[in-house]
Structure 1
Amino acid sequence: MTDHPTEQPTGQPTGHGDQSHEDVPKDPLRRSRVSQAWLSVVGLALLLVLLIVFIAQNTERVSMKFFGWTWHAPLAVVALTGVVVGMVLTVITGTLRIVQVRRRVRREV
């Protein structure tokens, strides 16, 4: 047993002296939608600069062959096309999985 009336014998407070979320002052430097948008713009601008440098340094034409088709394109275009196709396949797969999980949740509710 303790001598302090606000504590339980286990040493945990009873809740009388606890601060709620309303009592805690808000941080004036917290993240906001505007700051998140600004960070996104800065990040995308940096990504765009890196992309421009990549394209500028990989302008030599390469020959691509696929099932009898042959075409010529700059190396940067071929590499970026592969990246975009991979991203599209990932988005399609993720979207199908999200739809599957939502249907399962609706059936169980």
Structure 2
Amino acid sequence: MARPFEETPGAGPNVPAGSDNPTSRPGAHDVPPEVARGKGIRHTRTGATWTGLVIGTLVLVLLLVFILQNLDGVVLELFAWEFTVPLGVTLLFAAIAGAVIVALVGSIRILQIRRAATRQRKLIS
């Protein structure tokens, strides 16, 4: 009868037989600990930037497709002016305006937190 937990030399007690234990693999002591634990290369800023660029490019392609599929004219009225603009462009402008408002509110909040942190540092020192 097979036992679910068997001791593997160098693995310690209560390690499932056949588990992916880094110390039970041949030559595991020759590799850095983070690789032996299966973590591989650490997260880098360059990798995050690359991921952001790829995701941003995909979003821009989707926006372009959306705008090209929604070219029907829409009449916009702002005070005394009247504009005829494609629907996709109108929605893009609305999304940009929303993003700018969120960025402004976030910037104001960041400034508040920085001022509070500066005051706190001055009180401590």
1:81 aligns with 2:93: yes
Displacement after TM superposition at 1:28 (Å): 2.6
Higher helix share: 2
Number of residue pairs the alignment of both structures matches: 86
2:69 partner amino acid: Q
Stretches of structure 1 lacking an aligned partner (at least 5 in a row): 1-23
Query: Of 38, 43, 62, which aligns to 1:31?
Result: 43
Q: What's the counterpart of residue 18 of structure 1?
A: none
Q: Which shifted more, 67-76 or 91-100?
A: 67-76
Within 5 A, what are the aligned runs for 1:41-80?
41-80=53-92
Runs of 4+ aligned structure 1 residues displaced above 4 Å come to none
User: RMSD across aligned C-alpha pairs, in angstroms?
Assistant: 1.6
Identity within the alignment, %: 36
Distance in 2 (alpha carbons) for counterparts of 1:65 and 1:97: 33
Distance in 1 (alpha carbons) for counterparts of 2:109 and 2:46: 31
Distance in 2 (alpha carbons) for counterparts of 1:70 and 1:99: 38
Q: TM-score, normalised by structure 2?
A: 0.62
Distance in 2 (alpha carbons) for counterparts of 1:60 and 1:54: 12
Q: What's the counterpart of residue 103 of structure 1?
A: 115
Write the deviation string for residues 54-73 of structure 1: whole angstroms up to 9, x where unpaired.
01101111101122321111
Displacement after TM superposition at 1:37 (Å): 2.0
Distance in 1 (alpha carbons) for counterparts of 2:118 and 2:53: 37
1:91 aligns with 2:91: no
Distance in 1 (alpha carbons) for counterparts of 2:43 and 2:84: 47
Change in CA separation of 1:102 and 1:50 when aligned onto 2, cut-off 3 Å? same
Stretches of structure 2 lacking an aligned partner (at least 5 in a row): 1-31
Q: TM-score, normalised by structure 1?
A: 0.70
